[in-house]
Structure 1
Amino acid sequence: MMISKLPLAIAAASLTFVAACDTTGPNQRQNTQQGALIGALGGAAVGAIANRDESNRERNQSALIGAALGAGVGAAVGDNLDRQAEELRRQLRSDVGVSNNGRNLVVVLSQDLLFATNSTAVSGVSQRELGIVANSLNNYPNTTVNVIGHTDNVGSAAFNQDLSQRRAQAVASVLVNGGVSSSRVRTLGAGLTQPVASNASAEGRQANRRVEIVITPN
């Protein structure tokens, strides 16, 4: 029966996940472990379903093999995100944000660092920081890059939408000029629609004026 193989598939995935865990690395390689678990569970399920016409024993064997392969792929993706995040944090300025949620990596640069008021010309300081990001993207090529511009709520929605799009395109151009394939890079202007702080204060508006570089494994 289908139920009879489920505990074995889950156990196989869990055992593979435990074996893949490395608690000696920075932050205990949490995203490597998460990727291994997700990959193991997915691989076990695919292995079992793909061989549903075979005997229980053969299906369980397929689930074990799928779990092992899935864990390896998932762990590799998570490990790459961990490594890339650690490298970027070491190399970039302290006021450039780098966050890693296990699914993608987000680099956040303040628009006040990137641009002069109402300008889309990337500053010299930010050219250097974006050069570091471009080099990292070239070292980890199997990803898609979304560059998203954001503004505060000063001015009309239409003005901010256009400004955020042009600033996202300016940042993307620097990355492409740094050797990143244009086929990997997408741009989006979010305007004032996705604030991370209240626009009621100067500090909040400053936080909302930003460009996010979202790096997602393929």
Structure 2
Amino acid sequence: MRVNKNIAIFGVALATSCMLFTSCNTVKSMNNTQKGAGIGAVGGAGLGALIGKKAGNTAVGAIIGGALGGVAGGLIGKKMDKQAAEIERTVDGAEVVKAGEGIIVKFDSGILFGFDQTALRPEAQTNIKNLVNSLNSNPDTDILVIGHTDNKGTEQYNQGLSERRANAVKTYAVSQGLAGGRVKTEGKSFSEPIGDNSTEAGRAQNRRVEIVIVANDKMKADAKQETSM
């Protein structure tokens, strides 16, 4: 179809432009509806350009792996836009990264946990509870919780810490009514830095939990059906 062809051309052109120019204000101003429509053609490099260095490779890969692209992807992106705005309004302490057909909700580990701890702070429990309310209002999504650390200490210790923190977020979210079958967890230690681990500011960026929200099979099937009408 002509519409899909034009969207694909747009996606490739967008990805190329962002890789050539470090300042991509046009992309930054795009919403998920527009990004979702082109993401199937854009692929991994394009999504990286769309969201910038705000998330690790695992989070980006989770969104790429399930992306439909085309008009169906645009419909999913529209739904993600609406949920992202809701999360921004209701969840304090979270950075919401709009990423085509998905959303990345990012928390600084210092907001969620005490130093070297895996028990959620009381205020963090409120934040996660509010996020659960949004997730339950939008049930046709799957969730991946990813823990990250800085490079202080051994890789083995940090791997365990990152896994325990991701699991702590899942456990509390499930206790607040989120269906456990929707949620997977991963720990990445310090293998996916988004900041410079040689500086304290960079290490603070790297100590984080990313919550990735993507369309489940039902949302994808509904989007495909809608575009075929």
TM-score over 0.5 for the pair: yes
Do structure 1's residue 207 and structure 2's residue 205 form an aligned pair? yes
Structure number with bigger Rg: 1
Q: Would the aligned equivalents of 2:90 and 2:131 in 1 still touch at CA under 8 Å? A: no
Q: Would the aligned equivalents of 2:108 and 2:204 in 1 still touch at CA under 8 Å? A: yes
Residue 120 of structure 1 corresponds to 118
Residue 10 of structure 1 corresponds to 2
- Residue 195 (structure 1) shift: 0.6
Q: Structure 1 residue aligned with 2:189, among 188, 191, 203? A: 191
- Residue 92 (structure 1) shift: 2.0
3-state SS, counterpart of residue 187 of structure 1: strand
For structure 1, which segment, 29-38 or 127-136, has the greater mean C-alpha deviation from structure 2 after superposition?
29-38
How many residue pairs were aligned? 167
Query: Any stretches of 5+ residues in structure 2 without a counterpart?
Result: 8-27, 41-69, 217-229
Rounded Cα–Cα distance in structure 2 between residues aligned with 1:74 and 1:129: 29
Indicate how the Cα distance of structure 1 residues 158 and 86 shifts in structure 2: closer, same or farther if over 3 A, else same.
same
Residue 55 of structure 1 corresponds to none
Query: Any stretches of 5+ residues in structure 1 without a counterpart?
Result: 1-8, 16-26, 40-69
Rounded Cα–Cα distance in structure 1 between residues aligned with 2:165 and 2:128: 13
Indicate how the Cα distance of structure 1 residues 157 and 88 shifts in structure 2: closer, same or farther if over 3 A, else same.
same
Indicate how the Cα distance of structure 1 residues 156 and 34 shifts in structure 2: closer, same or farther if over 3 A, else same.
closer
Do structure 1's residue 76 and structure 2's residue 75 form an aligned pair? yes
Partner deviation per Cα, 1:151-179 (whole Å, 9 max, x = no partner): 00000000000000000000011111121
Q: Structure 1 residue aligned with 2:152, among 146, 151, 154? A: 154
Rounded Cα–Cα distance in structure 2 between residues aligned with 1:209 and 1:12: 40
Rounded Cα–Cα distance in structure 1 between residues aligned with 2:203 and 2:29: 35
Residue 88 of structure 1 corresponds to 87
Q: Identity of aligned pairs, percent? A: 39
Partner deviation per Cα, 1:76-134 (whole Å, 9 max, x = no partner): 311110001111111222x4210111121000111111111111100001101111111
Residue 32 of structure 2 corresponds to 31
Residue 60 of structure 1 corresponds to none
Matches within 5 A, 1:33-48: 33-36=34-37
Structure with more relative contact order (C-alpha pairs < 8 Å, separation 6 or more): 2
- Residue 29 (structure 1) shift: 7.2
3-state SS, counterpart of residue 97 of structure 2: strand
Q: Would the aligned equivalents of 2:98 and 2:104 in 1 still touch at CA under 8 Å? A: yes
Normalised TM-score (structure 1): 0.70
Q: Would the aligned equivalents of 2:145 and 2:170 in 1 still touch at CA under 8 Å? A: yes
Indicate how the Cα distance of structure 1 residues 152 and 35 shifts in structure 2: closer, same or farther if over 3 A, else same.
closer
Task: State the AA in 2 paired with 1:167.
Answer: R
